[in-house]
Amino acid sequence: MKKNSWYSAKRLLIIRSGRIGDILVTTPAIRAIKTKLPQSKLTLLTTEAASPASLVSADIDDVIVHRMPWEYDSLQDSQQEFQLIELLRESNFDGALIFTTFRQCPRTSAPAYLCYLANIPLRAAASAYPTRSLLTTRYNPPKETIHEVVHALNLVEAVGIHTAKEEAKLVVQVPKSAQEDINVLLSSYEIDHQLPLVIVHPGCSNLARAYPWALYAEVINKLGENFRLNIGITGSKEEKELVGKIMGKIRKENRQRVFSFAGNLSFPSLCALIEAADILITNNTGPMHISAAVQTPVVVLSARINLPQQWGPWKVKNCLFYDDLHAISPVSVVNSTIEILAHCKSMK
């Protein structure tokens, strides 16, 4: 197939598994596709964990949620895959773009074969190895580490969709209803709008990437003791216990201006809260990418697992700590937070 065959596609399948952050770093590529091929209906095939990201996308028209067998160790029921193949075949997709993380290009073969069996004529993905008939467009990634945003944009460039990578931005469209809900929520907490709002998101899907909760509590206490700030702590329903432990360590004199939003926010509302905040403190995780998309400055506490040049915050004011998490001093985190807040205030 010729590259320009993609320009006549009316129905395109976007495959991106993983979690919310994986979708968010792919949004510049999805926006490029939608911009260059406005006639195309874009359907996202993704995991349940990542699917909420579609709620803040104006570029994704439909979503298929599936348990990807290449992400699990012990799945034995192939019936779901046969059903998925039939669904994809009946959907008559003209093409499929398979997005993987930069270091997971070998995972391309499984979803490519899925699309091949579903008779999707155009199939593009990154692979350092020959894929024979599985792909009609193969992007051979560079050996040196590149950012996930660039990696995704390189794939769409391989099918003839060119964009200025350095100007690309993460795309999150926060619904107006979510923004209004957050305004009401903040008013209900009697938050002083004259003071900066600091959001702390301590949770992470991978515990090895999470800054210790006791150190988060120390960061919050030091912020509360030394500066006049509103501090909100966020987390999913599953992270309410984590946030509860942090709240239990907040000193009495600080509690009046520290608020827990754990388990109370939909994903669009979380995006709206981060958008409303003056700064976010978090791990290298989904909310970090939300902050980049809505241009809220962020302090990132990153374990030596995900390389900053591959997964770091994209095109947003930030301070990134990349170290053994227990070695990151709460004092340093507080100082960086205040420095960024002061800088941003002076820019207004």
Inter-axis angle of helices 148-158 and 27-36, nearest 10: 30
pLDDT value, residue 1: 40
What average pLDDT does the chain have?
Answer: 92
Per-residue pLDDT at 2 exceeds 60: no
Cα radius of gyration (the chain): 21
Q: Which helix (H) or strand (E) holds 234?
A: none
DSSP letters along 71-123, please? G-SS----HHHHHHHHHHHHHT-SEEEEE--GGGGGGGHHHHHHHHHTT-SEE
pLDDT value of residue 108 = 79
Rounded Cα distance between 43 and 64, Å, is: 7
Quote the pLDDT of residue 128. Answer: 83
**CATH class belonging to 3-167:** alpha beta
| Region 196-211 average pLDDT | 94
Look-up of token digits 């209906």: 41
For the chain, give every domain's residue range. Answer: 3-167, 176-347
Q: State the pLDDT at residue 301.
A: 98
**77, pLDDT greater than 70:** yes
Query: Per mean pLDDT, which range of 67-76, 133-142, 157-166 is the poorest?
Result: 67-76
Q: State the pLDDT confidence band at 206, using cuts at 50, 70 and 90.
A: confident
**How does pLDDT run across 108-141, given as a tens digit for each residue?**
788 999 999 999 999 999 988 878 889 999 999 9
Average pLDDT estimate for 4-11: 90
Q: Choose the CATH number for 176-347 among 3.40.470.10, 3.40.50.2000, 2.10.109.10, 3.40.710.10.
A: 3.40.50.2000
pLDDT band at 290 (very low <50, low <70, confident <90, very high): very high
229 within 8 A of 326, measured Cβ to Cβ: no
Sign of CA dihedral 12, 15, 19, 21: negative
Q: What's the CA gap between 240 and 263, in Å, rounded? A: 6
Say whether 318 sits in a helix, a strand or coil: strand
Q: What is the dihedral of CA 156, 158, 161, 165, to 10 degrees?
A: 70
